[in-house]
Amino acid sequence: MLSQPNLMDYQELKETISSFSSRDLEQRKNWYSPAAEAYDRARPSYPEEVINRVAAIANLSSDSKILEVGCGPGTATVGFARLGCSILSLEPNPDFYKLAKQNCQQYSNVEIKNIAFEEWAIEPDRFDAVLAASSFHWIPSDVGYPKAAKALRENGCIILLWNKELQPNYETYQRLSEVYQLHAPELDRYEDREMQESILKGLGQIAIDSGQFKNVVAGYIEPELTYTADRYLTLLNTYSPYLKLDPQTKKTLFEGLKTLIERDFDGHLELSYISAFHVAQKLDRSTF
């Protein structure tokens, strides 16, 4: 079981998540449209090891039916499709929907609908798992968790996947920080391991606090990747703070970062990230 996270950190996390999920639905549907292509090109996939682990925990097989909430461009969808599961993926953003259709076109076991989870007509007790890959925080908790539970069969599971932000090592970050301090100091931040683990613990606690799920199993791995300067800047363009950044500020910031990376790091950055999961079982109906 997950231990209770620090109360202040947990409250701050819930408030941050609420700032996303409380936005107007139409705004949430289109928020990532300017970054859809960049997201598809630059965001890392969910490692096969993570997918296999959660599939084992959730007892998924080729006969399983999965409801995916907010599939994006199909970043996680493809991995689960390869298991042979039948997948219904819901994606409210029209640009992501088109990309997901392209990326999943070879999988006849995947159906993708351009609709928000909140608007989807509930199909009770149909699914063995509800999957959300870096997407469930966009849905109000008092809507998402109860609706997910209703869609699940008895003993079904919710699977929450999280790819935390890709980061260089701390020494490299300190060099990049010099550029941020010149052009966008408000974006100059570095999440150390303790902070990332605290965030992940809090995300698992939110699932428990919903009153719909039990027996959270959590885990993560830490993949390492090499990004060119251009791909790294494309990646940054997919993170929410950069979507809100003034265009001229972004231009000068990115020019400074690219110059530094090409000059001091031979045009490449070594990055790592935490790819994490929470798998929780639906509570018995008698406890609702």
Model pLDDT for residues 5-47, shown as the tens digit of each residue: 444 377 888 888 888 788 888 888 888 899 999 999 999 999 9
Hey, is 216 helix, strand or coil?
Answer: strand
Mean pLDDT across 235-262: 96
Q: What is the pLDDT of residue 285?
A: 64
Q: What is the pLDDT of residue 268?
A: 97
Q: Which helix (H) or strand (E) holds 263?
A: helix 247-264
- Topology, domain 7-165+191-223+273-287: Rossmann fold (3.40.50)
Residue ranges covered by each domain of the chain: 7-165+191-223+273-287
Structure token pair of residue 255: 């020019």
Q: Which of 155, 159, 122, 282 is nearest to 211 (CA)?
A: 282
Hey, is 158 helix, strand or coil?
Answer: strand
Mean pLDDT across 169-179: 97
d(CA 122, CA 109): 20
Tens-place pLDDT, residues 122-155: 999 999 999 999 999 999 999 999 999 999 999 9
d(CA 105, CA 275): 25
Q: What is the pLDDT of residue 190?
A: 93
Task: Judge whether residue 162 has pLDDT over 60.
Answer: yes
Q: What letter represents residue 162's amino acid?
A: W
CA 160 to chain centre: 8
Task: Judge whether residue 288 has pLDDT over 60.
Answer: no
Non-local (6+) Cβ contacts of 9 within 8 A are 198, 202
Q: What is the pLDDT of residue 12?
A: 86
Task: Judge whether residue 1 has pLDDT over 50.
Answer: no
d(CA 75, CA 284): 31
Q: How confident is the model at residue 77 (pLDDT cuts 50, 70, 90)?
A: very high
Structure token pair of residue 283: 């509570």
Q: What is the mean pLDDT of the chain?
A: 93
Q: How confident is the model at residue 95 (pLDDT cuts 50, 70, 90)?
A: very high
Global confidence as pTM:
0.92
Tens-place pLDDT, residues 222-239: 999 999 999 999 999 999
Contact call for residues 44 and 273 (beta carbons, < 8 A)? yes
Non-local (6+) Cβ contacts of 196 within 8 A are 164, 274
Contact call for residues 85 and 60 (beta carbons, < 8 A)? yes
| Beta-bridge partners for 162 | 276
Task: Judge whether residue 287 has pLDDT over 70.
Answer: no
Q: What letter represents residue 259's amino acid?
A: T
